[in-house]
Amino acid sequence: MVTGRRATIAIGEYRIDRGDERVSGPTGPLKLGNKAYQVLLALAEREGRLLTKDALFETVWDGMAVSESALTTTIRELRRALGDDPRHPRYIESVYGRGYRLVAPVHREEVSDAPPPPGAVADPAAGDTAPSLAVTSVPSSTTTLDTNVKGLAAGRPPRIVVGEFRDAAVAEKHPYLGTSMREEVLLGLSRFREIQVVDSPLSKDDLRARDYRLDVSFLPAPQGAKANVRLHRAEDGGIVWAEMMLIEDEGVGAGVEAIVRQIVGAVLPALDQDISIGIGDSTGTLFDRYLVAKRNSFEAQDRASAEDAARQLEAIIAEKPDFALAYPPLCRLYNIDYGYTALGSTGPVERKRALELAKAGLAADRSHAHAYVLLGFCHLYHAEFDQAQTCFEHALKRNPFNPDRLNEVATGMTYLGDFDRARALFEQSTEMQPFADDNSQEDLGRLAMLEGDLDKARGHFAQVTVASIWSQLCTAITLREKDKARSRKAVARWKARVHEGWHRPIPPTDDEIIAWFRFHHPFRDDAGKTYVDLVTEALTDSD
């Protein structure tokens, strides 16, 4: 008789026999429909990592147009078969608005088709011919507990528990205000790949490092209601961000929408800053290593530090190719001269690598808005403008609540020549984040220059606190119509900065500088003619 071994996957106390397409548990085989089996197998293959709804529809349903209820019904069937409670899951965890992941330990096993050796104990539920199991690796329970409960599991983002929105004080005047706004906030936060949203309380034993809680309570106001919003650490109760927001009686619907956008738009930057302050330099988990590498990629002051950050990010991607968050900061380094620490160092090789990474990052998570923006800019840099436009549109659909993404897409639209759309997106971002940072002021100033309004552009650049390589150049150019001599001096100072930061000892010529400027400003056709002409004239007339 010919015998062999076949692969199985153990999920807690259940086992998937891929050869027999059957799932067995303590009481014997489970009765599962084909879709339920395929979903469980897909989740098992991810080994505890998030599996998005889009990915499930693409694989299990072969991209067929089916309603989301088909998936929720299948998940309900699986939970019932596994005896799982969605409120306190032991097997399948819902990630609000995104998808699902397995929380039970997953192990690869091999099953022998040969009959058990004499004296072997057969599985009483399977009869005398039950296959013997050879477990290839079993992590200790202590390690599993420490990873999943006490620490931050590898590759998992921070969690935000969205508490109840308390509206009893305004319920008579604004019934259901808390419930409706909470649902909107949950949906908005679920668009962010950098966080995991939890819509039910966590037990004390289930808390892990970097868990946060968002609470909102409503109070009466003379002209409407006030929303008291707080984001705090679940561990020590420390307040990370707080705001009091007014909802006027007139136009309550629009007021609620505006507040939802403000809450959602403010949560991630506040959380990101809190985590960055607490992160060290030598950490063990994948997510911590990513945070350190990301911070280093943005804070690098020289090429050596930037290249070291790139190596850290490359190592993370090599170790875990589906860790989508690591791709954007790495592509940024390759696309823009290692974060402008080595001016002129980015060329076709680096841009090609960035495009490859951007495509891989999107493949790792097709629901990640930043991945679409990233790929959009890579397409811009390769003069693939239609593809860039498509990517930016997808990014807007994926997450219209992130002011950073809106600003990035708006900048992309300026390069594509759609200035009206760009300004509308900048305004939408400002509604969520009223205080524009340096990047926003630079983007708005550039847009004003493209529109031919140098006075407005000069006003934006005047509000930049730390001048980037481009905002310094633009500031010098906007001075030309007011004071040409002063503008020449400012341009000369900028050129000295370029010479000092150039990637090679020999300084660039004016023609090289102009070519470098064009390389980093990928306008479609003549969309940037006004801006490019101003820069070219200033650089050739500065001596």
Q: In the chain, where are the structural domains located?
A: 5-150, 159-278, 436-543
> In sequence order, which residues have a C-beta less than 8 Å from that of residue 268 and are 6 or more positions away?
192, 194, 195, 402
- What per-residue confidence (pLDDT) applies to 110? 59
| Nearest CA among 518, 277, 268 for reference residue 381 | 518
Q: What are the C-alpha distances in Å from 298 to residues 160, 276, 442?
A: 25, 12, 17
Residue 170: per-residue pLDDT: 86
pTM of the model: 0.66
- Burial of residue 244 (number of CB atoms within 10 Å: 0-12, 13-18, 19+): exposed
Query: Alpha helices, DSSP H only, in 399-509?
Result: 403-416, 419-432, 438-450, 454-462, 469-478, 484-501
pLDDT at position 148, please?
34
C-alpha span between 406 and 404 (Å, rounded): 5
Domain 159-278 has CATH 3.40.50.11830: yes
**At 227, which helix (H) or strand (E)?**
strand 224-233
* Contact status, residue 430 vs residue 407, Cβ threshold 8 Å: no
Fold topology of 5-150: Arc Repressor Mutant, subunit A (1.10.10)
Residue pointed to by tokens 């524009």? 436
pLDDT digit string, tens, across residues 441-500: 999 999 999 999 999 999 999 999 999 999 999 999 999 888 989 999 999 999 999 999
pLDDT at 86: 78
pLDDT at 533: 94
295 and 281 in contact (C-beta within 8 Å)? no
Mean pLDDT by runs of 10 across the 543 residues of the chain is: 59 83 84 85 85 82 68 85 83 82 80 44 35 32 32 60 88 82 83 80 76 90 86 86 79 68 80 70 71 91 95 93 91 97 96 96 86 96 96 90 90 96 92 79 94 93 94 93 90 95 94 96 95 92 61
